[in-house]
Amino acid sequence: MNLADYKDVFVFAEQRDGKIQNVALELLGKARELADANNEKVVAMLLGKDIKSQAQTLIQYGADRVLVVDHELLKDYMTEPYTQAITQIIREQKPSIMIIGATTIGRDLGPRVSARNRTGLTADATKLEISDDEAHEFRMTRPAFGGNLMATILCKNHRPQMSTVRPGVMQKMTPDANRQGEIVDYAVNFDEKKIARVKLVKTVKEEKSVTDISEAKILVSGGRGVGTKDGFGKLEALAKELGGEVSSSRAMVDAGVMPADRQVGQTGKTVRPALYMACGISGAIQHLAGMEESDLIIAINKDKYAPIFSVADLGIVGDLHKIVPMLTERLRTMQK
């Protein structure tokens, strides 16, 4: 393998039912950064059926080229046809870097592609960078050991250097309708006999009736200071505006104000959302154990000595019953 033959940053543009997934746009934002650091191009791989109309979106979000593989066999994601298409692209286009969303699709496709092409794959990277020294190394950092340790991974002598990234980790670019890019119809030769080994019988969509708070990205959480069901109504309005869920401290569950499946803490659920907004929660150690890993913690409490402030990124000493409705209203007007 001559490493110098391999260049550009390739992004798997995951689509479902013909709709490009957010994670693909997020990866394009990161790919843009990586490609610019190496003076390379961002290439999006768009696989599906009747999806060419979506290619322009990928250019607006940072792609220089979009390879469109439009084929009946790619209508729904299936391991084998997608692996074959990506493998042919790798062999013909020789990408230096390839990033894929760490969804149930990407985490099925990535390892299969990496094994077929005997190259390295780093799972769930939270940071991707090109080193600013002479080497211009591609460095992939990911949590290991149950999130207790971080590891920076290299893929020195194999190409493409592959990584998956979870949804919500990277930032999308602001879309630019004037960005120019090239859209290429890409023909793939499929081995249909191999593809026929797995048959899709049906796909069933399920609406979750109650969101599991441990999976929520944004939690507005209430404690004793919220007091009543009416008080939680204010939190619900804020959560709705933020696209999040409402959770609770043990005190409010014991008081019968909130159901047990909403409880955060040692005897409840462990959560690590992107935003944990603690309203009227003093922050007993058992509560902190269940939420201190949250990416951003904002706490509102009347008592300036409340332990919750020791883990908060931003602590507000004040009355949640005034601040929460004002904040909700403010976000509502910003949306418009």
Bridge partners of 275, per DSSP, are 218, 296
How many C-beta atoms lie closer than 10 Å to residue 327's C-beta?
21
* Shorter beta-carbon distance to other proteins: residue 55 or 113: 113
Sole binder of other proteins in the list 5, 132, 134, 146 (CB under 8 A):
146
By CB under 8 A, which span of 50-58, 175-183, 203-211, 258-266 interacts with other proteins? 203-211
Does 156 help bind other proteins (rule: CB under 8 A)?
yes
Q: Tell me how far apart the alpha carbons of residues 26 and 11 are, in angstroms, rounded to a whole number.
A: 10
Q: Please provide residue 111's backbone torsions phi and psi, each rounded to the nearest 5 degrees.
A: -65, -35
Sole binder of other proteins in the list 175, 233, 259, 318 (CB under 8 A):
318
By CB under 8 A, which span of 219-227, 256-264, 283-291, 324-332 interacts with other proteins? 324-332
Q: By the 8 A CB rule, do 125 and 141 touch?
A: yes
CA geometry: angle 67, 68, 74, nearest 5 deg: 130
* Shorter beta-carbon distance to other proteins: residue 232 or 309: 309
* Shorter beta-carbon distance to other proteins: residue 257 or 276: 276
- The 106-125 site mask, x for binding other proteins (CB under 8 A), equals -xx-xxx-xxx-xxxxxxx-
Interaction residues for other proteins, span 57-116 (CB under 8 A): 79-80, 83, 103-104, 107-108, 110-112, 114-116
Q: Please provide residue 89's backbone torsions phi and psi, each rounded to the nearest 5 degrees.
A: -60, -45
Q: How many positions of this chain bind other proteins (CB under 8 A)?
A: 77
Q: By the 8 A CB rule, do 98 and 162 touch?
A: yes
Give 318's contacts (C-beta < 8 A, 6+ positions apart): 300, 302
Does 177 help bind other proteins (rule: CB under 8 A)?
no
* Shorter beta-carbon distance to other proteins: residue 53 or 193: 193
Q: By the 8 A CB rule, do 301 and 308 touch?
A: yes
- The 204-243 site mask, x for binding other proteins (CB under 8 A), equals xxx-----------x-----------------------x-
Sole binder of other proteins in the list 28, 44, 89, 297 (CB under 8 A):
297
Sole binder of other proteins in the list 38, 152, 266, 286 (CB under 8 A):
152
Interaction residues for other proteins, span 16-35 (CB under 8 A): none
Interaction residues for other proteins, span 232-291 (CB under 8 A): 242, 274-275
Q: Which helix (H) or strand (E) holds 86?
A: helix 79-93
Here the tokens at position 235 are 């939190």
Q: By the 8 A CB rule, do 276 and 214 touch?
A: no
Q: CA torsion, points 65, 71, 74, 75, in degrees to nearest 10?
A: 110
Does 155 help bind other proteins (rule: CB under 8 A)?
yes
* Shorter beta-carbon distance to other proteins: residue 116 or 224: 116
Sole binder of other proteins in the list 4, 149, 177, 210 (CB under 8 A):
149
How many C-beta atoms lie closer than 10 Å to residue 46's C-beta?
27
Shortest reach from residue 185's CB to other proteins, in Å? 28
How many C-beta atoms lie closer than 10 Å to residue 189's C-beta?
8
